[in-house]
């Protein structure tokens, strides 16, 4: 894998955060609390750690400044490697992320971690808190960790994950690891966000059967049998190999199977090598461009749907009328198809 560490902006020590960006005025507190998108983008792309944290918070809150900020930093994106770590609960994904991050840090690569957690039904926030399980990385200024809530979105991928990936990319991180909650079938959505998807399985949990049901056999670019010191690890490798013979989605790429014991760093170098080989395959085959284009397409279409609905309800259709429409469908006075067609007839598209 290419090491961009010499061409990416540095992640400075927190002691000199903002030391060279504050204007020579006596009132800087207001600016630090409410930075403009332009100033925040400039600070973020120059490697200011605190600016990155502020930017991520804006995106998660869906703050009005976030959209302009993301537009400003977008030209600085496109250099980071985006790697997904997904699999069933209890497979040791967080431990694997922890070990892989330490491995990259030894190579002087800067690593961003997005740990996507289930949403608390009470607060709407992330409830697993993967940062707690990575406390030894939390003080490393070359590592940025953020737990994000799924907010009910399918696939365990938070609504703002793509935007946060862009922020980390623009801030100079060489590697972005996206760890998703193990929720099963809908987890295939992860492939829309990452370039290389690592599927983590463990012996003795029936993962071979669960993998087929969940559909993750189709999305795995690299398979990891973690906790390989347990009995049955070789059997799990054999079963994965047999199941992959039934999958046609991989094309010319045959996903490697790597055995690891993440808690002792066993197999981490082999995993890094497998991920690097896959990335080289993506570039040589043109698949990298295709995946990046698909990611862009999905992001634009998702935004179009959200913006369309936001402008539709309350502008084209008064909120009260829309609520009445819902009531009519609920009481069987109307049906969803005719209701949607009726709404569209009231929309005036550009001439």
pLDDT tens, residue by residue, 215-242: 667 778 999 999 999 999 998 898 888 8
How large is the average pLDDT for residues 139-160? 70
263 touches 230 (CB < 8 A):
no
How large is the average pLDDT for residues 245-259? 82
Report the C-alpha gap between 224 and 186 in whole angstroms.
20
pLDDT (tens digit per residue) in 175-224: 999 988 655 444 556 667 789 999 898 887 665 555 555 566 777 899 99
Name the nearest CA neighbour of 190 among 213, 156, 215.
156
Structure tokens at 70: 């993301």
Task: With a cut of 70, say whether residue 40 has pLDDT above it.
Answer: yes
Average pLDDT in the chain: 80
Q: Domains in the chain, please, with CATH?
A: 77-291 (3.40.50.300), 313-345 (no CATH)
How large is the average pLDDT for residues 116-136? 54
Report the C-alpha gap between 169 and 159 in whole angstroms.
17
Report the C-alpha gap between 5 and 10 in whole angstroms.
8
Task: Report the b/e string of 261-275 with b at 16+ CB within 10 A.
Answer: bbeeeebbeebbebb
What pLDDT is attached to residue 301? 85
Task: With a cut of 90, say whether residue 276 has pLDDT above it.
Answer: yes
How large is the average pLDDT for residues 84-97? 86
Q: Which of 114-128, 146-160, 332-346 has the lowest mean pLDDT?
A: 114-128
* Residue 246 phi, psi dihedral angles, 5° rounding: -95, -5
């Amino acid at each position: 894998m290419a090491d961009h560490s010499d061409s990416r902006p540095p992640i400075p020590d927190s002691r000199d955060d903002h030391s060279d960006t504050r204007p020579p005025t006596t009132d800087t507190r207001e600016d630090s609390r409410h930075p403009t998108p332009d100033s925040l983008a400039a600070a973020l792309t120059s490697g200011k750690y605190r600016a990155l944290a502020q930017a991520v918070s804006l995106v998660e809150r869906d703050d009005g400044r976030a959209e302009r900020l993301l537009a400003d930093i977008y030209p600085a994106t496109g250099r980071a490697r985006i790697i997904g770590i997904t699999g069933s609960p209890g497979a040791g994904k967080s431990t694997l992320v922890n070990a892989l991050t330490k491995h990259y840090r030894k190579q002087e690569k800067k690593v961003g971690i997005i740990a996507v957690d289930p949403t608390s039904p009470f607060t709407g926030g992330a409830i697993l808190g993967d940062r707690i399980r990575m406390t030894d990385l939390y003080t490393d200024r070359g590592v940025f960790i953020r737990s994000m809530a799924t907010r009910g979105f399918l696939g365990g991928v938070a609504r703002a994950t793509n935007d946060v990936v862009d922020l980390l990319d623009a801030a100079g991180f060489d590697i972005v690891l996206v760890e998703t909650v193990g929720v099963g079938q809908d987890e295939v959505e992860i492939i829309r966000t990452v370039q290389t998807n690592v599927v983590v399985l463990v012996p003795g949990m029936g993962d071979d059967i669960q993998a087929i049901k969940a559909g993750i056999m189709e999305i795995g670019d690299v398979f990891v049998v973690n906790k390989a010191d347990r009995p049955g690890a070789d059997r799990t490798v054999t079963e994965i190999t047999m199941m992959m013979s039934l999958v046609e989605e991989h094309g010319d790429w045959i996903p490697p199977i790597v055995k690891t014991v993440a808690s002792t760093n066993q197999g981490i170098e082999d995993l890094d090598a497998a991920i690097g080989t896959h990335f080289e395959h993506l570039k040589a085959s043109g698949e990298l461009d295709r995946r990046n284009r698909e990611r862009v397409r999905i992001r634009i279409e998702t935004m179009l749907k959200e913006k369309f609905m936001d402008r539709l309800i309350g502008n084209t259709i008064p909120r009260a009328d829309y609520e009445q429409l819902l009531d009519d469908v609920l009481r069987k006075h109307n049906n969803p198809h005719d209701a949607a067609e009726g709404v569209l007839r009231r929309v005036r598209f550009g001439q």
